[in-house]
């Protein structure tokens, strides 16, 4: 019954099932001081275009879940005040529900070990436009004043047509709502841009996606491919993981051969 009191919020954030019940319990009592402090930290960042997530500050995971839930309407209202459609705002904030479901799949229980990632959404400058998420931030170099960081939610394929549509939407969305922050470049930091992947799965949608970017550099990220392919933290018990798809086999065989997966850091012109 408690979840029914929060139907509108949970629909906005796409929170369902057991997660809705557990979230409702957090909202059933007034927020304590740590929750209020976490909300205040997010309020300070709203509209400030931060590039980085809020880092761990001693507050518990449950504190941050509750704070994210309570603060989400502020982020939603900020979007609407900019003239952004309720549908785009909801699609962007629905990552909360998705991350809760992923956490339950990874750990078998309610929680949100990716809470820090979701503080970016609450700052009001990260948007889901079709298949991809785009994060508008100041550029780190002098090549452009602003840049779009590209992120890939797990809930779908990466067909070229879907990716094309997302980039096309981004090209019109950001100049419309943020005309004073022109972004002429997009960047992506992902294990999917590791050249090893495109070499061994050259005809895959992942390889097609990676080829859109000019690769600037790579950095070691030994566990990323395992986490995003199998939703397992760490490199233990790899022999127990499935090898049913070509992607699963490539990810595990590289580690079997003594290799290390990397993050590819790339860019493209918009």
Tens-digit pLDDT string for the chain (270 aa): 455 679 999 999 999 999 999 999 999 999 999 999 999 999 999 999 999 999 877 889 999 999 999 999 999 999 999 999 999 999 999 999 999 999 999 999 999 999 999 999 999 999 999 999 999 999 987 556 899 999 999 888 899 999 999 999 999 999 999 999 999 999 999 999 999 999 999 999 999 999 999 999 999 999 999 999 999 888 898 989 999 999 999 999 999 999 999 999 999 999
What DSSP character marks residue 234? S
Angle between helices 17-27 and 61-81 (to 10 degrees): 90
- Residue 58 counted as domain residue: yes
- Residue 196 counted as domain residue: no
- Residue 1 counted as domain residue: yes
End-to-end CA separation in angstroms for the chain: 48
- Residue 59 counted as domain residue: yes
- Residue 255 counted as domain residue: no
- Domain assignment of residue 111, given as a range: 1-124
**Contacting residues for 86 by C-beta, under 8 A, at least 6 apart:** 76, 80
**Number of compact structural domains in the chain:** 1
Q: What does the pLDDT read at residue 1?
A: 44
Q: Are 270 and 148 in contact (CB under 8 A)?
A: yes
CA distance 55 to 120: 11
Give the H/E segment covering residue 25: helix 17-27
Report the phi/psi class of residue 266: left, alpha or beta, with left for phi > 0 and alpha for psi in -120 to 50: beta
Q: What does the pLDDT read at residue 76?
A: 98
- Residue 138 counted as domain residue: no
- Residue 173 counted as domain residue: no
CA distance 134 to 156: 16
Q: What does the pLDDT read at residue 56?
A: 76
pLDDT, the chain, mean: 94
- Which of 185, 196, 191, 43 is closest to 123 using CA atoms? 43
Angle between helices 61-81 and 95-107 (to 10 degrees): 160
């Amino acid at each position: 019954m408690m979840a029914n009191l929060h139907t509108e919020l949970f629909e906005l954030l796409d929170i369902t099932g057991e997660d809705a019940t557990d979230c409702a319990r957090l909202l059933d009592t007034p927020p304590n001081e740590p929750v209020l402090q976490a909300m205040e930290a997010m309020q300070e960042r709203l509209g400030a275009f931060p590039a980085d997530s809020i880092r761990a500050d001693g507050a518990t995971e449950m504190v941050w879940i509750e704070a994210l839930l309570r603060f989400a309407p502020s982020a939603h209202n900020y979007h609407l005040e900019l003239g952004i459609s309720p549908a785009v705002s909801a699609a962007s904030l629905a990552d909360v529900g998705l991350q809760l479901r992923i956490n339950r799949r990874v750990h078998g229980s309610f929680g949100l070990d990716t809470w820090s990632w979701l503080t970016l959404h609450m700052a009001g400058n990260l948007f889901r436009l079709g298949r991809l998420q785009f994060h508008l931030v100041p550029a780190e170099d002098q090549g452009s004043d602003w840049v779009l960081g590209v992120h890939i939610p797990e809930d779908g394929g990466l067909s070229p047509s879907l990716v094309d549509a997302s980039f096309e939407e981004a090209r019109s969305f950001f100049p419309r709502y943020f005309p004073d922050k022109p972004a002429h470049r997009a960047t992506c930091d992902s294990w999917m841009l590791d050249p090893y992947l495109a070499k061994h799965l050259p005809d895959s949608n992942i390889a097609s996606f990676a080829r859109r970017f000019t690769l600037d550099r790579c950095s070691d990220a030994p566990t990323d491919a395992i986490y995003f392919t199998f939703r397992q933290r760490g490199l233990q018990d790899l022999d127990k993981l499935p090898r049913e798809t070509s992607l699963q086999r490539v990810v595990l065989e590289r580690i079997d051969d003594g290799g290390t997966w990397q993050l590819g850091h790339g860019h493209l012109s918009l």
